Structure 1
Amino acid sequence: MKSTHFSTAGAKENPHGVDVKMLYNDPTAQALMISLQPGQALKPHTTPVDVFFFVFEGTATVHIGEETESFSSGTLIESPKDIIHHLSNQSDVAARILVVKAPKP
């Protein structure tokens, strides 16, 4: 049985300058844990595949197209492919977001 804990997962370089851990990387899907400190944000970007975000800890503000909404832990958010999106942490505590891309881009 394979398992990966986010605290020991390898860091993934990224253009956003935030802490990203690769939890799963297979030809069919990819799962990453993004940690955003208060005030941090990803740069707006698009993906060629559908993505979903699961707020694992804290509160994340999700920007998809023209929509922006803050979500607390335990919430899953769908992000359709080819629509500009990004995540930010506008709270005063750290946030962790699980990002799953399937199929893998």
Structure 2
Amino acid sequence: MKATRVADAKRVDTPHGVDVRKLYDTEHAQTMHITLKPGESLKRHITPVDVFFYVLEGEGLVEIGDEEKSVTRDTIIDSPAKIPHCWYNRSDSDFRVLVVKVPRPQNVAKLL
């Protein structure tokens, strides 16, 4: 068995410049943990595979295609492949989200 604590996972260097940690990475799927501090956001991008997000903590704004929605803890969000998406933390506290990519991407996301 392999158990990974978020605090023990190495931070991944991404163009977003926020705290991203790889928790799970196999040939079939990939899971990342993102923490957005107050005022932080991801850069708008396109992922080549389907993604779902699970909000762990806080309140954030998710933008997928031309839709925006404010989301909170214990919410799951579906993001189809090749649709522009982005996350924003406009609150006064940390926002944490689990990102699951299925199947595991063979190419990196494309920044817009």
Structure 1 length-normalised TM? 0.98
Which ranges of structure 2 fall in alignment gaps of 5 or more residues? 106-112
The 2-side partners of 1:13 and 1:29 are apart by 19
The 1-side partners of 2:50 and 2:30 are apart by 11
Tell me which residue corresponds to 1:47. 47
Q: How big is the alpha-carbon RMSD for the aligned residues of Structure 1 and Structure 2?
A: 0.6
CA deviation profile, 1:9-38 (whole Å, cap 9, x unmatched): 111110000000110011110000000001
Structure 1 counterpart of 2:7, one-letter code: S
Q: How does 1:14-53 map to 2 (within 5 A)?
A: 14-53=14-53
CA deviation profile, 1:41-90 (whole Å, cap 9, x unmatched): 00000011000010001012100011001101000000000100011101
Q: How does 1:1-105 map to 2 (within 5 A)?
A: 1-105=1-105
The 2-side partners of 1:94 and 1:56 are apart by 10
The 1-side partners of 2:12 and 2:50 are apart by 20
Aligned residues: 105
Identity score, percent? 50
User: 8 Å contact 1:22–1:32 — kept in the other structure?
Assistant: yes
After TM superposition, which residue ranges in structure 1, 4 or more long, deviate above 3 angstroms? none
